[in-house]
Structure 1
Amino acid sequence: MQLGDASLLLVHLDRERIGSALLEALPAAGDVNVVRLLDVIVVTRRAARRGSLTEIDVSELALAGITLRTPGLIGVEDAAGLTAHLDIGASAAIILVEHSAAAGAASALPLLHDRIIEVRRVPASVANAIWQSAEAVPVTRPHRIRRRCTMTYPAVHDTARP
């Protein structure tokens, strides 16, 4: 399988789980062939140097008509880097989408325009390299079990001090 250009979308959440607005927007974007959903996770900033990552239950998404093409592809390091600026207690969804050449990431999920915090482009070559390395790693857990882990954020150093 070859992936095209993709984007990581950081989307503000009001609580530690994906709400109905996001669940409604995801299949709508897929239905019009604007994007293909690759992966979705939820991150919550717990403290200055600690956060949690929760993979969305694929069967829960299937009930909403959502299919992920490459679940588990968003890494802990990518999630920590993308959410390092979140306030303590804040939650966000990270959505990895592959989009058509005609659609930009900002127009990929129009129903969420005011909730998108950040967009990071992922060139097809990088997306494919990550996918190929992920395929090479043997699966050690049943796919139906979702990943939950603690993330550590780097310490922030004040470089202005001597």
Structure 2
Amino acid sequence: MPGSPQPVLGSDLATLAAAVGVAAVAVAVVAVLGSRESRPPVVAAVVGVAYSLLALGVYFAARTGAQTFLDMSPPETAVAFAALGVVVVLLQAAVPAYGFIEQGSPAWLLGMFASTTFLFALLLRVGGESDVLVLYPFFGSMALVATVVPVAVEQMLGALGVVEESS
């Protein structure tokens, strides 16, 4: 379909597999750090910055390799929205890292896995009529909210006595 982003790895399946792989590694890193560290704000900040740098690296590598940078007008607006997108990406990792370290609930890792898979599946697609990083503040914020859904469900079920709440 004209105007639709195309998978940089050649197929949707390869793109999804790569996104799932990145998500698995990101969640494993948070799980390991969370079991060893007792300073949630510091770890969450480091995880968030490293995660956003990885996302930016994948974003630029995919577009450089495919030679598909969009001409956004006016560029100042595009840069402002892209910067906001980076903040959303940073929070997408920092919030569940902090929550997992502070509460120990694996539901935080489930939410992070889902939102990371979503993010990297988008970053590994190029072309189209708009830029994923510029639009990410809008639909990425929904992924950020979705990150906390497993935690909310776990806490509701715990309050109802259906499952034992993590602590």
Structure ranking higher in strand proportion = 1
Structure ranking higher in helix proportion = 2
